[in-house]
Structures are given as structure tokens and as C-alpha cells.
Amino acid sequence: MIKRLCILASLLFGLFHHQAAASDSAHLLTGTVYGIEQHADHQDTVALANANILWKNTTIGTATDSQGEFKLARPDSVAQLVVSYIGFENDTLLVHPHDHALTVFLDVIRSTEEVAVVAEKPHTIQHTEDVVNRHSITETGLQTLACCNLAESFENTTAVDVEQTDAISGAKRIKMLGLAGTYTQMMVEKVPSMRGLVAPYGLEYIPGYWIEAIDVSKGTASVANGYESITGQINVELKKPESERGLDLNGYQSSMGRSEMTVTANEQLSPSVSTMLLTFASYNQTKWDVNGDTFLDMPLTTHFNIINRWKYTGANKEGQIGVKFLHDDRHGGQMSFDFNNPGTATAYGSNMRTQRIEFFSKGGIALNSSSSVSLIFSAFRHKLDSFWGRKNYAGDESSLFANLLFEKTVRRHSFSSGLSYTLTTRDETYLRTLYGTKESVPGAFLEYTCRMNDRLTAMLGWRYDWHNLHGAFSTPRMHLKYDAGTTSLRLSLGKGYRVPHIFMDNPAILTSSRELLVPQSLRAEEAWNAGLQIVKDFHTAADRPASLLLDFYRTDFVQQVVVDMEQNAQQIWLYNLDGRSFSNSAQIELTLSAARGLDLTSAYRFNDVWTSYRQGLERVPLTAAHKGLFVISYTLPADTWQFDLTTQFNGKSRLPNNRLHSDVREAYSPPYVLMFAQVTRKFARWELYAGVENIADYRQPDPVLGWNDPFGPVFDSSIIWGPTVGRRLYIGIRTN
């Protein structure tokens, strides 16, 4: 399949290149835009990236790349070209049909008058200049939903699915390309953040109001960030100390008793030193059991989270340090469970208490105008104590991570190389049995990016890591991008690895009565991923941009840990893959600005995921094949009211074939629709917002199997394919 995909991509590249080459010399105008900066004793000339290039009195234009270069269709007659860049004087040039290349110099605006710039912020940004398939969910996009935490920030995208792990803890997990989120590398400002004990609940530990943007990359990403990205990479950018925000706050209250408060504050202590404090608290002690199964619909939670970060910015260097502290306490189980006296309770109850402290630092030095060196370091201690009915689980984890990176750019060529090291010690206790693990992973990487011409860019990377428990990881990756005017084509191919974690990867071990069976030593997971993406940019009107995206990704596992819940309803088997395991994922998405203030997004995605179990090759359970999305966002011309509506279609998914379980009657879950709506009233400094989630009040019936005998052999709260909580209203206030 991968060979055929590469052949198809080669044919498409050849077709695009042939068509473009035939017309380049006759119809393209190329050029470079520079800005002239005047200083007291000298003058600097810098290339201007993202400068606007537009034929006067038309809607035909482009923007310069990172080197200040551009290409644009040349007119058949004399025409005027307008070149503009924020902070510089506009320039209008007369271009003749025989002109082939231009060099434009813009002067800095010297006016001291105050200028107000008003623009419509997009909800998502497709980074067409990147070699890697990457898009960003902006702060504006996050505010169209409640977005109380990272787990609730993906409801209006089809690239990432969010689902509930079980009906007791309320924990959320993601899926990309039809596969579990464990195959997606999660980072916070380029620091790996969802490894080990934090993985099942880490998405809920990042408040939405802390987030400045979420970068989502499909397929294998840069080797500089590690060997773990198989299906994609998600990097979260937090609010920055050097920003001009000052004091920000967000207060939230839901109809089900969930109360939250976020306060962030930053201060510029000197021209080179700034600091920021981010705080978050969440509290919910209201008991709900709408479906009458005696189990809480939502866990009772007490949570607070603090980050303090400091940043230094010098002439040719910058650095920052910070510390994080987190406390999370959540109770679940039956309504009648006495959490004050758990030792004497006869009902089913659960408790998870988490404490985490983390230190991080980053530093970078520009050696000259074309090269730099940087270092990222982080270390944490994570403790988790929990019980689930009569099962007990505890974990104590310490880890450090370091990544040293050197980068150099020479015209069209970019080089990056570096060294990394990860050390993790983890002690886990399950049913009074201790599982101790120590992982030591040194690694090295090299990556080369070449802009072969104005259309074709290639990125080749390779890294080598040595895992003390699993041996050598050799990770090759390749990315190609081809620009054909307003159409871009991307191809990616690469390998990724992942070290399995028995308990953190499989919540069903704790949230059910199933017996854990691991008949063999589990090997590291290894997979190839190949992808193809086409993006077409166009305009529905002069000032109404639109884009059409199509992509296809194929993941083939060389080795995988198979999670088998179908041999017996009372057991969960973990064993190494013996056969085939693969995922095909295709998506089409249309985004457009239909009118001023009216933005529309519609998307459809198809996932086809299969794994070889001992009983044969079967579709992976609890994975919907079809998903649709339609998002409407409208802002009044005066920018005082904003209305957002998100509609999701979720297709059916195969249920585990537990024939011994009396509560399982169907082979597939039914398809269902979820709707979210929010209205925002904007003032000069404040915004009031109110909304409703799950408007139709759709819920999965009987999410807790065997609820009437929670200590019996068939109790299971992990077979979750739909929402377990119904309609929820909320209201909030935040600074603007």
C-alpha cells in the first residue's frame, strides 16, 4: 500500500511539475522584498517575510516566503504592483510584460501618529508555507467553545477525536488517524508532556484559557522532537510573559455544578526581563445520576494548577525558566459511596489523587545571522494514588528530558542537528504487586531542508536512539512540498516508535472487573506512516478567502501491543502483534468566509482501522468509521455579538464481541449527532459568554455494564462509544 501511495505521489508531482514548468518562464514574475531600517550609525537591510504583493485594482496577489521572496503571475500588459508590509511605507511599481524579476526596498514608516489596526482573526490557520502538514487552532477559535481544558478544545476539528475513557473517572483521550492518542506525540512548547503516569488525565491538566494556540500536525513530524510521533504531533503554546496582556481572568459556571476560575498575570520588569503567573482552579461536588444506574454521571473534582515562568531577552540570546505545580483529586462511583469513610463503605467507589511538580528551562543563542544553538530541559515528579472498587493502583514517577539543537541556514538550505536524553524511573503498584521500570534513552538526530526551487521543498531527517530496555530505534523521515500557484501538494513518509505502558495505556484494567493477562514480554511498538495532502486556496469574492483540503494517511504497524477484550468478557489480554495491523484515514474539508463576519467550515473524515487478534483480522472496536463536522461562526459588523454553532456527526463503531456479557446485545453502536452553541457579548475590556453543550441531550444508554453488581465478574465501565453526560448549560465572563 505504501509503495502504491509513493508511486501515486510521484505521478502527481510529475504532473504538477510538468504543467508548471511549461508556463513558469512565460508567465511568472519573481522578486524579493527587503526592508530598510535606519539606525543612528548604520543602516540594516532585512528580508521581509509575509509582505503583501497585489496587482492594483484586482484581487490577485501573494505573500513573500521566509526569505522575502515571491512569485506571481505576470500580466499581459503594463500594470501596477502594490507592495506593503506593516511598519513600512507602501510602494507601487510599474511592471511591464517583459519584466521577469524585481527587487523591492521598503522604508520604515517614520510617522509618530497613532494607528489602529482592525482585522478578523481566523479560528484556524493552515500553515501553507510549512513542509509538514500543520494547522493551528487560534485563541479566537478556542473561545468559540467553553474550552475549559485541552481535552475540550478539539470539538470543532475533524483532525482530532476526543472520547471518554470510562464512565467513572470522566477522563478524556484523543485519537488521530483512527488510532489511540498514545501514538500522537503531545508537547507543551516543544517539551514532551503526556508520557507515563500523566497520560490518561493530562489533557484535562492544561486549562483552555492558558492556551495561545494549538499546533496540530498529521503524520510523522520532525525528528528533532523525538521518535514517538507516528500518527501526528500536537504542540500547545501557552500565553507568553513578554505579551502586553497584563491581568487576565476567566470565570466559568456550568449547570451541573462545575465551577472554574483562571487568572493569569504578566509583568515586564525591565526591557529584557519579564515574568508571568498562570493559575487555575476547578471545583465540582454536585452529584448527578440522570440515567438512574446508581453511578455518578460526572466525578467529583477538586483541582488547582499553577505555573510561574520567567523570560530573559537579550541582543542575540534569550532564555526562560519556570516551575509548575498541580493537584488533582477526583471521586467517582456509586451515589451512596461514603468518600469520608471509604474503608467502611459497601458501595462501589473510586478515588484518584494526583500531585505533580515540574521544572523547565529553555535557552537559545544566535551565533550569527544564519546559525543558532538552543537547549531545552525539563524534570518532573509525579505521584498518583488511587482505588477502584476493590482494586488499588499507585504510581511514583520521576523523569528528566534534555534536547540540544543546532540550526544553520545557508540561502535555500537549512540544517539542524542535535542530541537528546530522557531518563525515567517509575514504580507502580497494582493489586499489591510492584512493577518497577527504569528507562534511559540517549539519542541523536540530523535534519536537512532544501528549497530546491520556488516550488519544491524537501525535508529529510534521521535519528538514532538507544533504549536500555528495547534496544536501537532508527527513525527515518521524509517530507516533500510542491507549490503550484494557489495549490500545494505534500507528501510524507516516516517511521515512529513507542514504548508501551500496561496500566496507563489501558484504563479498562482499573475500571472493570476484568482480569489482566500478559502471556509474553511486550516489545516496543513500531510503525510506518505515509501521507498525501492537497490544499487549494481560492476566493469566493474579492475579500472572501476559502480553502479546500484533501488528505489521506496510511499507518502500517511492524510491531504493536494488541489489546484484546474479546476472548473473554472477564479478561483483558495484552500480547505482541502476530499478523497485520493498519489504519487508513481520509479527510476532506472546506473552509470559507461566506460574508463579512460569517465563517463556515464543513468536513468529512473516514477511518478504516484493522488489527489481527488471535481470532483473526477484525476492525478495531470503539472506532467510528465516519465523522462529519459543520461549524458556523457569525460576528455582527459592530463586533459586539458573536454566535457559534458546531454540529458533529459520529458514525457507528464496532463493539467488543463479548458474547458472555448479558448487557451487550448489539454488534455496532448507533450513529448520533452532537451540537454545541455559544453566544458572546463583547465589551471594551470584558466578554460575557453563554452556551449549551450536547443540545439534543443524547447519551449512551447503560454506559456502566453490570452496574447492579459492581463487584461481580462482568462489571465494566470502559465500553464507551458516546457521551455519558447529557445537556449542559454554562455561563462565563472573561477579559477581552
Express each pLDDT in 206-219 by its tens digit: 999 999 999 999 99
Greater confidence (54 vs 672) lies with 672
Confidence of residue 585 (pLDDT cuts 50, 70, 90): very high
- How many helices and strands (H and E) does the chain possess? 3, 43
Q: How far apart are CA 214 and CA 201, in angstroms?
A: 18
Dihedral over Cα of 118, 733, 593, 49: its sign: positive
pLDDT for the residue numbered 20: 43
**Is residue 117 pLDDT above 70, yes or no?**
no
Model confidence at 120: pLDDT above 80: no
Residue 110: per-residue pLDDT: 63
Query: 325-348, pLDDT tens digit by residue?
Result: 999 999 999 999 988 887 777 899
Q: Which of 59-73, 280-294, 329-343 has the lowest mean pLDDT?
A: 59-73
Say which range, 11-20, 68-77, 419-428, 532-541, has the weakest mean pLDDT: 11-20
Question: Which has more confidence, 659 or 517?
Answer: 517
| Residue 21 binned pLDDT confidence (cut-offs 50, 70, 90) | very low
Report pLDDT for 13. 47
Average pLDDT over residues 418-433: 96
The H or E element containing residue 677 is: strand 672-682
Question: Does residue 495 register a pLDDT over 70?
Answer: yes
**% of residues, the chain, pLDDT over 70:** 92
The model's pLDDT over 347-375, given as tens digits with 9 standing for 90+, comes to 999 999 999 999 999 999 999 888 999 99
What integer is the mean pLDDT of 595-621? 94
Give 68-127 as a DSSP string.
Answer: SEEEEEPPSS-EEEEEE-TTB--EEEEE-TT--EEEEEEEBP---S------PPPSEEE-
The number of beta carbons lying within 10 Å of the beta carbon of residue 599 is 22
Backbone angles phi, psi at 202, to 5 degrees: -60, -30
pLDDT greater than 70 at residue 627:
yes
pLDDT at 662: 47
Percent of the chain with pLDDT over 90: 65
Q: How do residues 72-101 score in pLDDT, each as one tens digit?
A: 877 767 788 889 888 888 888 888 777 778
Spatial contact of 572 and 516, defined as CB atoms under 8 Å apart: yes
Q: What is the mean pLDDT of the chain?
A: 89
Nearest CA to 565 out of 507, 499, 500, 651 is that of 507
705 or 126: which carries more pLDDT confidence?
Answer: 705
Confidence of residue 653 (pLDDT cuts 50, 70, 90): very high
**What is the per-residue pLDDT for 59?**
65
Q: Do residues 278 and 307 make contact, with C-beta atoms less than 8 angstroms apart?
A: yes
Q: State residue 504 phi and psi, 5-degree precision.
A: -70, -30
Burial class (CB in 10 A: 0-12, 13-18, 19+), 346: exposed
Complete domains list, the chain, with CATH:
28-107 (2.60.40.1120), 124-735 (2.40.170.20)
Stretch among 42-46, 134-138, 435-439 having the lowest mean pLDDT: 42-46
pTM of the predicted model as reported, rounded to 2 decimal places? 0.84
pLDDT surpasses 70 at 221: yes
- Could you tell me if 694 and 726 are in contact, meaning their C-beta atoms sit under 8 angstroms apart? yes
Question: What single DSSP character describes residue 227?
Answer: S
Across 132-136, 527-531, 699-703, the highest mean pLDDT is recorded for 527-531
Is pLDDT of 29 > 70? Answer: yes
